[in-house]
Amino acid sequence: MSTRSGVSFRYASAIYDIANNQGKLEQVKSDFQNFNQLCEASRDFYLFLKSPVVKALRKLEILKKLFSSEYDKVILEFMSLVCKKNRAGQLKEIAESFASVYNIRKGIEKASVLTAMDLTDITAKELEKLAKKVVGDKELELEYKIEPSLIGGFLLKVEDKQMDQTVSTKLKKIKKELSK
């Protein structure tokens, strides 16, 4: 994730303002999410963007072919500008920064829950209540992930706080105590 002072964050802030002023904020957010998913799913595509061998205009040409029928005009023009400034290799980071800018300006706090298996609805609601206590009045966007190596329990990450109630961590603590 980029920092708030980085180039990617400044580009993301600029496209946020443009999209917001044109009433296309949600469409641009969706386009950036799709773009980011493509970069994560296709290492070749990501490496193509980063490649210093491929000329900026060629990258722009390919991006237009890929996305002109799918993405909003605002994001296509933005991609064009970024490519012309020889920063196509930063488009993924800009997309990630856009999500951060969006969440900051909308007052949304992201949190994640790692568990060894699927949660029941009751347990999920309890964890959501716990996370809400940390974020206060902010809107909460909770992401659930399954990590079988945790054995049981949960790991809740909100802001810069972490609550680790996993069986694997408890076993490590017991092992450490016994080895003293």
| 7-104: CATH, from 1.10.520.20, 3.30.310.10, 1.10.760.10, 3.30.565.10 | 1.10.520.20
Tokens matching residue 88: 């196509």
Among the listed residues 69, 75, 68, the one whose alpha carbon sits nearest the alpha carbon of residue 29: 75
What distance lies between CA 108 and its chain's CA centroid? 13
Backbone angle region of 159, left / alpha / beta, with phi > 0 → left and psi within -120 to 50 → alpha: left
Digit-coded pLDDT (tens) for 32-52:
999 999 999 999 999 999 999
Predicted confidence at residue 2, as pLDDT, reads 43
Backbone angle region of 122, left / alpha / beta, with phi > 0 → left and psi within -120 to 50 → alpha: alpha
180 residues of the chain, pLDDT tens digit each: 445 659 999 999 999 999 999 999 999 999 999 999 999 999 999 999 999 999 999 999 999 999 999 999 999 999 999 999 999 999 999 999 999 999 999 999 999 999 999 999 999 999 999 899 888 888 999 999 999 999 999 999 987 889 999 999 999 999 998 988
Q: How far apart are CA 10 and CA 23, in angstroms?
A: 20
Predicted confidence at residue 180, as pLDDT, reads 80
Helical residues (DSSP H) of 22-166, grouped into ranges: 25-41, 43-50, 56-67, 73-84, 91-106, 121-135
Predicted confidence at residue 142, as pLDDT, reads 92
Domain ranges in the chain? 7-104, 107-178
Q: How far apart are CA 12 and CA 4, in angstroms?
A: 10
Number of H helices, E strands in the chain: 8, 4
Predicted confidence at residue 118, as pLDDT, reads 93
- Sign of the torsion formed by the C-alpha atoms of 140, 106, 77 and 9: negative
Q: How far apart are CA 45 and CA 89, in angstroms?
A: 10
* Backbone φ and ψ of 146, nearest 5°: -105, 130
